[in-house]
Structure 1
Amino acid sequence: MIIVRTIKEMQEAKKGLSGSIGFVPTMGALHQGHLSLIQQAKKENDHLIVSIFVNPTQFLEGEDLDAYPRREEADIKICEVAGVDIVFMPAIGQMYEKDELCIGAPAIRGYILEGEKRPGHFDGMLQVVMKLLNLSGATRAYFGKKDAQQLVLIAQMVKNYFMDVQIIPCEIVRDEKGLALSSRNVYLSAEEKERALCLSRALKRASKMVMAGELAVSVIRKEMRTVLDEADKVEYVAIVDRAFNALEEIEIGNTIILVAAWVGKPRLIDNIWI
């Protein structure tokens, strides 16, 4: 495994790879969820690149950029054990100039739900993902379904800009009690972790209702909110199709149910694909 920190080093390292390239972009603080992406990418490609970069342009003013967990030494070890070929760990100055072109999220689906709560977040996310996809020369890039709106927008960017890379959605990884894994979970106390389980419980309740034949979105959302009462603040409960259009009735095979809520210090998101 080699570690590269500059654009020039990344470009040179990539030249030595022949065959398919799997790519997993991360912001570090790697956990089992990241490892599942890395393992799938390793299995499905000849070579594997992982990037570790806490991207400043997708953090809004007042968000936790400076406090975002960073564990460089541990992350490198995880990548080494997992059989990663190249770890790309650039400094901010390598990735951005003072005055450069920007990519804008779509005017509708980029400014609903996460985009409404965090305006401009998806602009920064898409900007860095395009840079990383171009740098990696990826055949396939792997993203978790937990960030469902991000995943859908990345797929749209690849389609709209005719990019020659396959976006691979990967299943959400949960702990033994059902909490969706996230780097921000380190901020949760033991008591808060128990309360945070209300997100996955609400999604399970929705799934059971659908399996029992309930398809009305208004009924399901109302029931989910009663389950979410342990959260400190519920930002949204949304039921959309897989293009993020609002639904009045569940469409089996084409629906995502999403929740966002605050529990203690961190803001948590979770979802289920139906």
Structure 2
Amino acid sequence: MDLHTVLDVRDARRHEPWRPGDAWLGGGTYLFSEPQPQLRRLVDLSRMGWEPIRALPDGSVEIAATCTIAQLSRFGRTLDATAAPLIEQCCRAFLASFKIWNMATVGGNLCNALPAGPMISLTAALDGECLLQAQDGSTRRVKAAAFVTGAGRKDLAVGELLRSVTVPARSLRCRTAFRQASLYGLGRSGALVIGALDPLDGSLAVTITAATVRPFRLWFALPPGRAELRAAILSAVGESDWFDDIHGLPEWRRHMACHLAEQIRHELTRDGVR
């Protein structure tokens, strides 16, 4: 879609003061999908030269905001880590064409902050940490699970940039389980639940997305029982936190989240036998 209100596209390598009507441009799959009458200038990140994915010395993995879904998928298929299959599962949750896969970015999916964003699901479930950079060059870090604060809302100040997401080595060693539900065969996710069992201390993290307006990551020092898990979900997720749109009513999303979480608990613990 043409954005008729945009008057200029600036190379992000040339630092200029941020002004009203500016927006960061990554892959552009959302920006060019619908009218954006509030925009006047796009700040293009495509020439920043950031390495899409870096394996760090401590075994963690840093994913640049400009990394495309196709690049992440290829990396996931070659990664020698227990949690590696989860990367491809979340990439496939896009249900998008190859054109979208080759343009859409990890950072764009996070910053769009849609409940059904699968990169939100992936990075929150693996306890990822977002690196944010302000206009003055200062940086801060925030957990991926806390970066999205609501449907379409994220923890970004005016002009602030999501630079990368780092997934810790310990999370990559976790055994994971993935469940997704949709009202339609090729529909948007109505509930997406991921479990991660830590082999070092036996703790279990259950992350709920798509069914809720923001990610909910529940951590248990030891795998809970069926009733304990359900009670923890219903205690953490308030009535207003269940998402409501044409892809699923809140009641259905709540039911599916609890149902899928129980499947994950059983798969990863075999009812407590790890």
Which bracket does the TM-score occupy, shorter chain normalised? Answer: 0.3 to 0.5
Q: Which has the higher contact order (CA 8 A, sep 6+)?
A: 1
Q: Which has the higher strand share?
A: 2
Q: Which has the higher helix share?
A: 1
Instruction: Name the TM-score, length of structure 2 as normaliser.
Output: 0.32
Instruction: Name the TM-score, length of structure 1 as normaliser.
Output: 0.32
